[in-house]
Structure 1
Amino acid sequence: MNSIDTIVILLYFALLIAVGVIGSRRARTSEEYALAGRNLGMFMFLGCLSAVILGGASTIGTAKLGYTYGISGIWFVTMIGAGIMLLGALFIKRISQSNVTTISEFLGKRYNAETRLVSALVAAIYTLMVAVTQVIGMGTIINVLLGWDMTLSMVVGGGIVLFYTILGGMWSVTMTDIIQFIVMTVGVFLVMLPMSLSHVGGWDQLASRLPAAHFDLTSIGGEQIFQYFLLYALGMVVSQDIWQRVFTARTMQISRTGSVLAGVYSMLYAVSLTIIGMCAFVAFPQLENPQNAFTTMAISILPNGVLGLVLASVCSALMSTASGTLLASSTLLTHDIMKPYWFRDMDDRQLLRLSRVTTLFIGALAIVFSIWIQDVLVALDVAYAILSGAIFVPLVVGYFWKRATAKAAFSSIIAGTVVVLAGLAIEGLSSTNPIMYGIAVSLAVMIGMSYTTAPSVSDNVHSIK
């Protein structure tokens, strides 16, 4: 990169900080801080939701998969899009009517306080781990682009996200996400995709120079596609950072339609990044590390200034996911653990202050973990595995089956978590089987205990009509 590209990226960072300061003026209540006042229109909701689900792994990872497997590389992000569409098509109505802030609060209303507590702990750990991966990704990009020390790069990248998230909460996150959504869309669809195809001579030349396997939709393997389904399609349905975005919509129709459109956008994003990766395979067939396919292509084909914009779009994807997951983790801890158990008499102003302090703590913890671990891709898979194996069943079964009891839900979450962790320890962290074991055991416990235990008083009180 030259000085023009560096200036573009630094100006982009400065813009995010300025937007964070502006957003802080709108976050005057705890609900505005956590959910942007539940007042987002269609465009802002769509941009906000799309930005949070498409992180750095979606951008760099899909280009890597396209480089390695060809068109079959679409399945990772396609399953993310499928999960969002599933959430919008089947669950939005009940979620919107429940008037809650977190997924754990929803489970607490449906079952009892114990279920709310244990699900909050599981979901908070998951969202924290996602934030850690994004901070590492930001650090890696800043380190490569600007030449800064890796630790300093993670502190700067994570610190910028933490700054605007603490100040304005969901309002700052929403405003920055809209900027990031626009930058991502322009950078990927209008710049990188057409210029990558042009660099290799167009689609016909690309098709003639690639191996036939690169046009096989299943070349990545059926087991890998199924694993993406278990981890991401099911994981999106029970992810707090996604639910928190759903709650920001002004109306149920906006949340439902926007979720489906975000799923479609994700699938188009998957196809575009996969093709960019395929172009990189033709242009740089001897690339030592396929993970560098996107950045190598960008650095090689883009003019000065435009390169800075496109690389800022990668930072955008990382920052939008990081801010959303930081806020999600702090919201879970504040609303589902600290306020109900330690600060019951707290007024709204005090709750807003507690939310900001908790966000600061979670953000600092994420930066420390990032510096300490520096590679948590496996840990992210573990977090998704626990999320899918432990929370998916009690949420879905309780949603559709009135007979489900609180004791069954609590036991189902515990059993699913234990089985997933044991399975990962025995079969390896990359195995798909523990997720299926966890879901199967969770379902068996849920159904068995619901039939053998009578509904408690809490089931009647908290049941969502």
Structure 2
Amino acid sequence: MPSEMLNGTMYGWAFLIGLPLFIAPSVLVRMDIWQRLLAARSEKVARKAALWSGFGMLPFYLLFPLVGMAMRVQSGDTLAPDDTTFLFLSRHSTNGLLAFSVVGLMSALMSSGDSFLNIISISAVNDLKGWGIGEMTSQVFFRMLRVAAILFGMLALILALLIPDIVNLMVVGLGTISIFVPITLLALIDKEPLRYRKSALASILSGFAVNVLFFILGVSLPRQYEAKSSFVPAFVVAGIVLVSGVFLTRLRNREATGDV
């Protein structure tokens, strides 16, 4: 195998450094993790759920890269990333085990997919209450929830068709999630995070815009920039915008109360 695939520099040093610094904390904003925590019977159970979730996720982060490396050694660089896992299973299992594995993987993907779709739809509809719509009846809420689920589902499908490379799609998805890390940390450590809601919105929008911009740049000019590293400047910009917004908000509050 090429040495850069073994030392982690395949996609450049920015990608390698950015993974542990910016992508690793993205588990803080993963809704499947928060579902377990919010549904826990007590704080003790929530801590156990978080701990076991981490241990349960770790093998998969190790397993699939090893599968890819094994297939690279066997098939060379002509193998499409989308086909790697299936070909690995088909070559190293019986028909029955292959069917069981494919069904298991699809079940896990569908479970995670509908969880994310459900949560983002609920969050979007609830957010609309703060943008002038006001209170809703249960009937209206569930109707809007179904509409939101359809719209977000169609958007996800369109993105999957526009970005057919599953590796690029996954990295862009993780990069998009990572821009929510700064505001999540703020919400966890600050006693009154709601006062920074405008700064949080600016952080999300700026991080998302930078992520998309650098990803397009990487796709258009792959020799100048690695598209998979788009989350690095996005995370940095989102963090800077949030910190700046928090500082300015506190400064204005001090001026308003005469504490300056």
TM-score by length of 1: 0.44
Residue among 168, 172, 185 paired with 1:396? 185
In the TM superposition, what is the alpha-carbon distance from 1:438 to its structure 2 partner? Answer: 0.8
Cα offset, 1:301, TM superposition = 2.4
Q: Which residue number in structure 1 is paired with residue 228 of structure 2?
A: 430
Contact in 1 for aligned 2:89/2:98 (Cα 8 Å)? yes
Task: Describe the SS at the equivalent of 2:126.
Answer: helix
| Separation (CA, whole Å) in 1 of partners of 2:235 and 2:38 | 29
Deviation per residue, 1:178-200 (Å, 9 max, x gap): xxxxxxxxxxxxxxxxxxxxxxx
> % of aligned pairs identical?
19
**Where in structure 2 are there 5+ consecutive unaligned residues?**
219-226
Q: 1:369 to 1:266 in 2, by over 3 A?
A: closer
CA drift at 1:276: 3.3
Query: After the TM superposition, which residues 77-116 of structure 1 pair with which residues of structure 2 at under 5 Å, given as runs?
Result: none
Counterparts in 2 of 1:65-464, with a 5 A limit?
218=8, 223-282=14-73, 284-286=74-76, 288-289=78-79, 291=81, 292-337=83-128, 339-341=129-131, 344-348=134-138, 350-371=140-161, 374=164, 378=168, 381-382=171-172, 384-389=174-179, 391-402=180-191, 406=195, 408-415=196-203, 417-418=205-206, 421-422=209-210, 425=213, 428=218, 429-432=227-230, 433-454=232-253
Task: Provide Cα deviations, 1:329-348, integer angstroms capped at 9, x if missing partner.
Answer: 211122221x4556644344
> For residue 286 of structure 1, what is the amino acid of its counterpart?
G
Q: Deviations over 1:259-284 (max 9, x none)?
A: 211111111222333333344345x2
Q: How big is the shift at 1:309?
A: 0.8
1:218 Cα deviation from its structure 2 partner = 4.6
Alignment CA distance shift 1:262-1:330 (3 Å): same
> In structure 2, how many angstroms separate the alpha carbons of the residues matched to 1:372 and 1:216?
30
RMSD of equivalent CA atoms: 3.8
Name the CA shift for 1:376/1:446 in 2 (closer, same or farther; >3 Å): farther
How many pairs were matched up? 243
Cα 1:249–1:287, aligned 2, differ >3 Å: closer, same or farther? same
What are the Cα deviations for residues 42-100 of structure 1, in whole angstroms up to 9, with x where unaligned?
xxxxxxxxxxxxxxxxxxxxxxxxxx67xxxxxxxxxxxxxxxxxxxxxxxxxxxxxxx
TM-score by length of 2: 0.71
- Structure-2 separation of matches of 1:372 and 1:347: 37
Distance 1:344 1:280 in 2: 54
- Check the 8 A contact 1:386/1:420 in 2, yes or no: yes
Distance 1:455 1:403, change over 3 A: farther
**C-alpha displacement at 1:377, in angstroms?**
5.7
**CA distance in 2: counterparts of 1:367 and 1:403, whole angstroms:** 37
Counterpart contact for 1:394–1:412, Cα < 8 Å: yes
Question: Deviations 1:304-347 (Å, cap 9, x if unpaired)?
Answer: 2211111222322321221122112211122221x455664434
